[in-house]
Amino acid sequence: MSLTTEKKASIFTEFAGRAENTGSIEGQIALLTERIGQISKHLQENKKDFSTHRGLMQLVGKRKSLLIYLQRHNLQGYRALIEKLGLRK
């Protein structure tokens, strides 16, 4: 269920530029998006797993706050990231 180190490194390489750049906002948002997708898939199979649902809501809130920060400080980067991740239509 958790992400492997290779998967995390590839996410940060793709979105942050380098695998070592784990503090970049774009990389963190991409990592949260990947985890949200995995947890959503788990919850489709396990509908009564309420503690995982709570954790999912916390991750969604964290991603939302990071997206708001990115939007305020780097609008072009924000638009490119949501386009690349397919978050909004």
More confident residue, 1 or 56: 56
The continuous run of DSSP H or E covering 74 comes out as none
Whether the pLDDT of residue 6 is over 80: the answer is yes
Helix (H) or strand (E) holding 33: helix 25-45
Q: What is the pLDDT of residues 38-89, one digit of tens each?
A: 999 999 999 999 999 999 999 999 999 999 999 999 999 999 999 999 998 5
Q: What is the pLDDT of residue 47?
A: 95
Question: How many distinct structural domains can be found in the chain?
Answer: 1
**What ranges in the chain are assigned the alpha helix state H?**
5-16, 25-45, 50-73, 75-85
What CATH number corresponds to the domain at position 48?
1.10.287.10
| pLDDT number for residue 2 | 80
Residue ranges making up the domain that contains 16: 5-85
Examine the pLDDT at 1 and tell me if it is beyond 80: no
C-alpha 55/C-alpha 52 separation (Å) is 5
